[in-house]
Each structure stands twice: as structure tokens, then as C-alpha cells.
Structure 1
């Protein structure tokens, strides 16, 4: 796969196809989006929202979840707000998310099947409060999105004038609804 990617990239650069994507580092819509990393949303999310390269700062992770108040999502949002002029944050989850009903016990079993030892798994306990607490999903996408929105809104380093919204996308149609 990597070899194919490099071959494609060489031709992409040679043909100067990058020119249609050129922009600067500042999001023109002054918006940051925290979205799920689901492959169905890769092209669908920007297309369904009318976004083009340079419009927003796009932060992606499993479930569009803020899992730690001082983790990488909040870090990225703080940089986006203070350094890149973001004034609005959208948390966008989606229906049929793989994080729904994620079972940490089953995930740990899969780790064992891939040769990860209990010693290696135990190493993560100190940093996370227990791997079972860290490798969890959610039952309800609306509640998960609302929870992430509330963490961002309540964060002491996020200015109170930043607009923060929760949305849910249908991964088949691209339809978006707001979480109240």
C-alpha cells in the first residue's frame, strides 16, 4: 500500500494537482470540528457540510469523544482557538458508530490474540486509571456528543465566548441533526 501511495504522490506533485488545495493554516470559517474517524465520513462529512480545504480545522478520533480534559483533543482546540482564530467548535458524532457498545474485555482479548501481554496491558493502568476505564465506548451517540460538548464548554482554558455545538450525522445520507 505504501509503495502505491508514493507512486501516486510522485505523479500528483509532478502534475501540480496540489494547487487546487492550496490555502493557509488559518481556517477561513473560524471553525474547528471534532469528528469521528469513521471511514464513511472521510469525504462525506466535508461534502455534506459544503466544506473545502482550508475552511475548518478538522480533528478526528474514535467516536468524536473528548476522553481526557487535558488530552490531545483539548490541546488541538486550544491551539486552534488561540493561535489560529477559531471562534466556533462543532462536535460531530454519527449514527451506527463503532464506539457504541464497545466492550473493553473483548478488546483486551483481541490484544492477547495479537501477542500483547498482561504486563503490557497493566502498564497503561497508571496513566489511565485502568485500561477498562480508558477503552470504553458509549451506549448513546446523543449522550456521547453532549458529554464532549459539555467538557469543552466547562473547560477552564476554553474561552466562554467560543460557540460550541453538538451534531450527529447519518453516515449513509450525510443528513445532520443538532443535539440539544
Structure 2
């Protein structure tokens, strides 16, 4: 269990030590007009943007398990639509990473884990088709990046001329490589 008091105490000290943050004049609109869709892997926290040369206020970073888009209007697409029409982004970079934990999951294993934690089987059956489509499609991180970039490029709600790109990152070293998506 987290120690919320310790978090609040740390935050109070942080704010006191960084009065310049409130004076930066940043807005919610990213200066670089870029949104990054990436995995929620803890090894990428703080490192990913820094390794690519982006600072606070420059890009929007959207994190999700496996950097996947699963439906025409899922949470990632919704966030990208807000980023596009409300915050002025013009480009999206989908970044997968080596040794992604999603590769180790399968829908049947996941559903068994849910059952073992007391989740109602009717509730599991309700999400089973989507879970299978999402988890069991994800076997190679780079292929998932390519799939996601293609999906977004052909999505009817994004304007023509918007840039969609892919890349892979090593979560241990921060090394990035561009992934060509046809």
C-alpha cells in the first residue's frame, strides 16, 4: 500500500524547491505539435522524452499497455483526436520497446488470473472478444508498432497530411530506432 502522506510531503518539498515551474508560462498545447503513443512500461518513465530530446511542455505523451490502438474510438484514439483538434498536434510517433511485457500475456492466461482474483465469469465473458483481439494479436513489439501506425494513418477522423511514424526503444539503454511503415 502506498504511503500517501510521504507522497504529499515529497510534493510539498518539490514545489518549494522549484518556484520557477509556475513561471514557465506553459500551456496544455505541445510546443513541438507532436503526440507520442507509447507503452506504460515503468522503464520508459522519464527516460523516453529525455532520450528523444523533448522537454516539459513540448510533446503530449499517451501511455497504454503495449502502445496499442484496439478500436476506432478507444481511449488512445480519443486522446489523439483531442490532441489534434484541441491542442494542434500535426504528428504522431508510436513507440514500442524491446522486451515488452505484453508479449508474455495471452487472453486465456489473463482471464484465468481474473477468475483467480474473484472476478465474475459473466463479466469476463463480456470483455472476452475484445481481450482476445487485443492481447492475442500482440506477439512482436515492432509488428504492433507497424499495425498501430497503419491503423492511425487510415483512420477516417484524422486530417489528410497528418504524419504518423513508428519507432522502437530499448528500455534499458534509451537507444531509439526509426521503424519504416509502408
TM-score by shorter chain over 0.5: yes
Alignment of 1:150-161 (within 5 A): 150-161=150-161
The runs of 4+ residues in structure 1 deviating greater than 6 Å are none
Residues 102, 135 of structure 2: 8 Å contact kept: no
- 1:66-107, CA deviations, whole angstroms, 9 ceiling, x for partnerless residues? 111211111111111111110110000000001114211111
Q: State the superposition RMSD in angstroms.
A: 1.7
The 1-side partners of 2:95 and 2:134 are apart by 21
1:142 equivalent in alignment to 2:145: no
Please name the residue that 1:166 is paired with.
166
Are the equivalent residues in 2 in contact too, given 1:32–1:58 (CA < 8 A)? yes
TM-score (norm: length of structure 2): 0.89
Match of 1:19 in 2: 20
SS in 1 for 2:54: coil
Distance 1:48 1:131, change over 3 A: closer
The answer to whether the 8 Å contact 2:34/2:59 transfers is: yes
* Cα shift at 1:167: 0.4
Counterpart check, 1:34 vs 2:37: yes
Deviation, structure 1 residue 115 = 1.1
Unaligned ranges ≥5, structure 2: none
Q: Could you say if the C-alpha distance between residues 30 and 177 of structure 1 is closer, same or farther in structure 2, counting changes exceeding 3 Å?
A: same
Contact 1:35–1:91 (Cα < 8 Å) also in 2? yes
Q: Distance in 2 between matches of 1:59 and 1:117?
A: 30
